[in-house]
Each structure stands twice: as C-alpha cells, then as structure tokens.
Amino acid sequence: MAQNPPDDPRIRELRAMREKARQGGGADRIAKQHQKGKLTARERIELLLDPGTFNEQEAYITHQGDELGVNTERYLGDGVITGYGQIDGRLVYVYAQDFTIYGGTLGEMQSRKICRVMDLALRNGAPIIGLIDSGGARIQEGVKSLGAYAEIFRRNAQYSGVIPQISVMLGPCAGGAAYSPALTDLIIMVERNSYMFLTGPEVIKAVTGEIIDPESLGGSDIHMSVSGTAHLSAPDEQSALALCRRALAYFPSNNIENPPYQNPQDDVLRMDDSLNNIIPLDPNIPYEMQDVIQTIVDQGTFLEIQPHWAENAIIGFARMGGHSVGIVAQHPSVMAGVIDIDASDKIARFVRTCDCFNIPLITLVDSPGFLPGISQEHGGIIRHGAKILYAYSEATVPKISVIIRKGYGGAYVVMSSKYLGTDINFAWPSAEIAVMGAEGAVNIVYRKQIESAPDPAAERARLAQEYRQKFNNPYYAASAGYIDEIIEPRETRLKLIAALAALRDKYSPAPPRKHGNIPV
C-alpha cells in the first residue's frame, strides 16, 4: 500500500533514515553483490523467516572510531542486520552480515549488535541464527576488532547447549572469524560460494610456498568431506536458507523444552516385510543401512548430517511417529562399518548435540570393530573412541539401540550398549554379539588344535561354525540379559515408536558437577 507523504517533517526524516539503512552500502554495491550471484543481507533474512515477521534492532548504529582515518563515510547498521522474527511460527533471533558495508568486516559496534541479539536469544530461550558473509576483522579498528570477536566467541561457548546456534555460511569467513561458526551446533555452507579458513591462500603461499585457491583450501567440498567442519551444504543461497529452516524444525527452542511435534503423515503401525530379507546370510556381504533407516523412520523425514565425511558412520535427524529423534548407525557398505578416528568424532559430537536438546537417540549397530593400523593407533584412536563412550554414558535422553548384525568387541560396547545406560536394547535375529568374529576367535583360542589337525583349514572352518552357533547369535546375549527383546526386522518401526512413547517422561539427572572432562 502506497504511503501518503506525511506533513510532519520528523516522520519524513524517519522514513528517509529507514530507507538509507535499507540501502546498506548503496545501490552500486548491492548490484555488485547480485552480479556475484549473492543475495543481500536483507534478502536473505526475508527468505529465512516467515513473511512479514522480521523486526530489526539497532538499525542506526555506526562505527565509532577510525584511528587510520580511512573510512570517509559512516554507514547505518555498521555492516550487520540484527533482529528477531519467526520460523514456522517459532521465535528466532538472527544476524546477517552485510558485505556491501566494509565487506561485512567486524568491528567494535558490529560485535555489540551481534552480542546484543545473542543475549536476547538466551534470555528469551530462542535459537540464534547467523548469516555469515564477512571479510574478517576490520583492520582499521585494530585490537578493538579482536576484542569484538572474543566477545562473540565467549557467548558461543557459554550459550552452547542452552539455545540452538546455527551458522549459515553465505560468503567468506576468514581468520579468527571462523571460530564462531565452529562453536555453533550446525554449519551450513553454500557450494562454490562460501569458504572458511584461518589463513588465506596468499598468506600460505608467503609462509610455506604452497599454492592453492580459496575453494580448494576452505570451500564447502573440503569442509563437507575432508575436514568435517561443516554439517550440511546446498547448491545456492535459497536452498541453504531452506535447509536451515528444515534443520531447525528438529530442535527445541532451548534446552528446557522438548523438540516440536509434527503430525505424522506415516502410519505409526506400519511394518515393512522387505526388512526381513535385507540382511544377507553371509555376514561378509554388505547392505545399505540407508535403506533400513529410510524404512523405519517417518517417510521423507531423515536429514543426514555430514553425509560425505567419515562415511562409515551415519548420523542424522528424523521423525518417529511425529517426534524428533537422532539416528546413529554404521554403514556396512563403507569400510565394513568399522569405527575410525573421524567416525568417532562424528558420532560423539552428534550424540552430545542430541543430548543437549532433549532429542532421543536411536542407534543401529553393525560394526566389526575399531579400525586397526599403526596410523590409527598413533593418531589416537583410543582417545577418539573414548569420546563415543563418554558421549553415550553422559547422555540422559531416551536411548534405544538395535543390533542389526555385527556387534564385536569395543565397537559393540561403545555403540549404546546396555550397560552404558541405554534404556531399551533390541536385536534382530541376524545379530552377532561377541568379542570378535568367529574366524578370529578360533584362530586365537584353538591355534594349537588347528595347527596339529590333519586338515587345518577344515578344522578351522568346523570350529568357526561351532563358535558362531554358540556365541555369534542374539540368543546367547539375551540369555545373559544384554538384550531386552529379539524382534523381527519388519517390527522395528513399531517397536521403536512404542519404546519412545514409554520413555517420553524419562528422568535421569546427572550427578552435580561443574562439567565433565571429555577426552578431546
């Protein structure tokens, strides 16, 4: 609706100031942003939030000092837009760095704005979402810009596990600035248009002589598949912002609330006979764990996290009967589902994220053990594997495990085994729970008997079959109380939803302490 020109000059001035603030760094710089295929900060906020719900704060702040005297103009907002709005009708706080003003660089006043909106998010128990597009610290403000970053980092750490924090990387994030996203719960990157690194290509070339471009150094492909820093990626900004909305739907607004419930579009009593035939009779033949997950969760709700890093482990959010759950599983088609250093870190961080925000954990177990090798031992597989133990033992949310096939040795113990405090433990008839596989066990226990046999190979095969029949089945473990129920695979969805309902009011307070000391 067109506005009539006001008679009051003060109203005219207000409208002019509002329009000036909306223009950011000016029409030319907005055009340059668009030419790069990038949206402006305000356009991003409009896409992220429910239409018409954004309320801006501190739009007229400007930078207060310039010792170098290089800033000839003060821009309203000082390179960041902050405020609050709604996503799916839920309150969220947001800040969006504006690259059209000083390249989105962070100085004292921009930091104050970001810290202010973070504080409000905490006080009101609402998520905080950062839309990152910045050249880093504002050099012309000197040490003030470094202190400004420290104020943000401190809040990222102190508010961790209290309110969800999500970083959407929509451009560069260089230098110490990258530590803020790294402290948040989820990092979403835009492919070929966002990157993170501590030292850029030019500095690396000067110091080490290595030559590399920004994308190969810290683009989304690197952080999604090599470093494990990012959690999700999207081909463009619109998709990244939509992905942020989707991911947030699995989180509560704070650590006191439960995750939001959505009316299920899938039959909670559904059983799928295809699961009864999904596990090969030969334990050495792989299968697709993704098919198991997609079959048992509410259809279309599985959101895999870090899908291209440590692919021998699978983590992600889903819904079961409309309720948010966290899924942890091994991937038998990748490295036979063994647990290595990266998989340990991936699983442990996800388990702790779910525990922070009251998201029940469902663990699907099929792992022959931890990855052996000199590089793994020297790289600290003991320390990294202990992170999984710590995370599951510490978690007080409802925990349910399903042993699909192999649960050998330490891999069985760390993956939400019963005596780590898991509430309900199911097993499929294909489950093999033992210290190790049958062949490895008989080679150790019956080594002399096998060597002295007329036909060592035949004797080894016979003993392995006996061992397998006695130990590598769920009934032996169930007889000792390690399994609560052996179920048909087709019943898994039904059993899990019933178990989640039974555990919904679980109360398991942690012992009083300042905090634990997880191996890092």
Q: Considering Cα of 44, then 45, then 46, then 51, what sign does the dihedral take?
A: positive
- State the catalytic residue, choosing from 411, 434, 441, 499: 411
Q: What is the residue-wise DSSP string for 192-260?
A: TT-EEESS-HHHHHHHH-----HHHHHBHHHHHHTS----EEESSHHHHHHHHHHHHTTS-SSSSSPPP
| Helical (H) or strand (E) element with 328 | strand 323-330
Alpha helices, DSSP H, located in 49-166: 108-123, 143-158
Which of 26, 200, 379, 410 does the annotation list as catalytic?
410
State CA 378 to chain mean position distance. Answer: 27
To the query of whether residue 137 is one of the catalytic residues in this protein, the response is no
Pairing of strands 399-408, 424-427: parallel
The total number of residues shown for the chain amounts to 520
Cα separation, 221 vs 171, whole angstroms? 14
Sign of CA dihedral 314, 92, 169, 151: negative
Nearest Cα to Cα of residue 388 among 421, 365, 416, 409: 416
- Judge whether 323 and 291 are in contact, CB under 8 Å: no
HEC letters along 342-376: HHHHHHHHHHHHHHHCCCCEEEEEEECCECCCHHH
User: Using the 8-state DSSP alphabet, how is residue 263 labeled?
Assistant: -
H-state helical runs in 1-142:
9-22, 27-35, 41-48, 108-123
- From CA 313, how far away is CA 307, in angstroms rounded? 9
Q: What is the C-alpha to C-alpha distance for residues 434 and 60, in angstroms, rounded to an integer?
A: 66
Note if 175 is an active site residue. yes
| DSSP H/E element including 82 | strand 80-87
Marked catalytic residue, from 85, 175, 385, 407 = 175
Q: Helix (H, G, I), strand (E, B), or coil: what is residue 402?
A: strand
Active site residue 89: no
135 noted as active-site residue: no
Catalytic residue among 26, 142, 176, 421: 176
* Cβ-contact 356, 322 below 8 angstroms: no
CB-based contact 416:361 (threshold 8 Å): yes
Q: Which residues contact 252 (CB under 8 A, 6 or more apart)?
A: 164, 258, 259, 260, 357, 358
How, if at all, do strands 361-367 and 399-408 pair?
Answer: parallel
Catalytic residue ranges: 175-176, 410-411
